[in-house]
Amino acid sequence: MDWIAVFLLVGHYSLLIALCVFGAHRFITTYHARRLYQSPDGHPQFVDLPLVTVHLPLFNEQFVAQRLIDAIAQLDYPTHLLQIQVLDDSTDSTTELIAQRVAHYRRQGLPIEHIHRSDRRGYKAGALNDAMVSTRGEFIAVFDADFVPSPDWLMKVVHHFSNPKIGMVQTQWDYLNRKDSLLTRLQGIMLDAHFGVEQAARYASGAFFNFNGTAGMWRRTAIEDAGGWQADTITEDLDLSYRAQLVGWQFVYLRNVRCLSELPANMNAFKNQQRRWSKGGVEVMLKLLARIWRVKLPEPSTSSVPSRRRAWSIKLEASLHLASNLTHLLILIDSVVFLIPAVVLRQNILPYPPIWVDFILFTFGGLSHLYFYLSAQGVLGRPVWRQLWLVPLLMATSIGLSRSNGSGVFEALRRQKSPFVRTPKIGTTGTFADSDIEPSEAPSKATEAVSYLRQFTLSGEAVEVLLGLCYVLTTIWCVQNQVYLALPFMALFAIGFLYAGTASLRERLASSFSSA
């Protein structure tokens, strides 16, 4: 029993220390975002505007395809310098809807093309790569199906490429349906932290940062120099970003240019998105980490990068960035194997280290999240105190997602490949008003994604609910045994796993009843 207890305690504290390393990194990142970021407003401008191609990769997006095409048609850019390509891999009525909308705008003189592939070879990366053959633009903007750029988006972005060293410009996301539900509010805060802190901090400090797959623009030469779009990971955007920066291209992040988009409207869609991002991030880590440390990085130019970092510092930041998704697996292992036994054993069998050691470590990790999320609200000009009560719920939800995200990370570490599963979009209020789709055909927010997410099996949801119930019992045990310092953390785990599991089950049951 002593050896088992020692194993459980050592395992628990080893994982906590590893998580604290990532927590410390989050503190540093937030500091950089708050203190160093400056919007690059003083850039030169093109005398003669360049030819720009807009790529719209779509797959079975019947509820949002028209909204996207209509938004792109309103871009304020000379039509003789614009090429729009709708890259359509759809297998449903989306193809017909796209064809009708493209024909409508072609009759008005808009240079828009409909490129339909009969297979999904390479998924999104394959569609983007195949389109390069017919792409005429020197610069390529990419928008996913759920994005709605403003008419002035291109003009705000394109002039940053007047610096010949700039290979990509990424803009911030904003959200059409942020206030629709508790889940979308939580997602808004989470993504605000990524764009308001992580992207801003990496750009401001001269570190590598990534294209987010949409609402950004590339220099065609940068894509080609980096080896083009590749489909050997499911996060082709992150992969291309690092390969381009490793060969010397510099990126710009514009926190003051926003592009509206749609957040996943239910738990299963959200899980699908987060799992894909987590798994893909680890796939890119395995693919490029050794190369990052082997390559000799070119010296950054102060004319395009706000501050200079040494090569080893850039490489360390890149390593922590790519490895950050491992935290999902660490949390899952600790919550399933070590955490509950460690709390109980230390209280009843091994009194040392005392419970306050857990409290310090958990608090350090928790405060890093609190500082991270609330700082993002501050730098983006949102009311911080109005969001304060949501941050613990977001932390709990992140814990609840560790089952699905952690399994994705484990698959990546095993180099187990999986297909690219799109995140379903349902359209927002008013989406169907000007569409050929009748509102009655629109799926409910509780059911639309389920048919696309068969990989999230009942057993996985049951594990989440079971873990939540275990942490409810542990919370009760902590009250009975006066282990009060552990209470808030046990409650977070209970709420997170129960929320993730019951929400998924509720959506699956709703889908079953609606199709019966």
The one-letter code for the residue type at 466 is: L
Give the full edge-to-edge strand order of the sheet including 166-175: 112-116, 82-88, 52-58, 139-142, 216-219, 166-175, 250-261, 147-148
Write down the residue that tokens 């419970």 correspond to: 355
List 89, 146, 192, 358, catalytic entry: 89
Q: Please answer whether residues 123 and 90 qualify as being in contact, where contact means their C-beta atoms are separated by less than 8 angstroms.
A: no
Tokens for 347?
């209280």
168 forms beta bridges with 218, 251
d(CA 259, CA 64): 15
Q: Please answer whether residues 361 and 18 qualify as being in contact, where contact means their C-beta atoms are separated by less than 8 angstroms.
A: no
Q: Which stretch of DSSP H or E encloses residue 232?
A: none
Question: Could you tell me the maximum CA-CA distance found in the chain, to the nearest angstrom?
Answer: 79
The residues, any chain, with a CB within 8 Å of residue 244's CB and separated by 6 or more, are: 167, 168, 222, 223, 225, 226, 251
Known active-site residue 2: no
Q: Please answer whether residues 266 and 416 qualify as being in contact, where contact means their C-beta atoms are separated by less than 8 angstroms.
A: no
Residue 39 gets the label, from left (phi > 0), alpha (psi -120 to 50) or beta, of beta
List 144, 237, 239, 358, catalytic entry: 237
Tokens for 11?
């395992």
Known active-site residue 180: no
d(CA 331, CA 280): 18
Q: Please answer whether residues 112 and 195 qualify as being in contact, where contact means their C-beta atoms are separated by less than 8 angstroms.
A: no
d(CA 295, CA 243): 11
Give catalytic residue positions: 89, 237
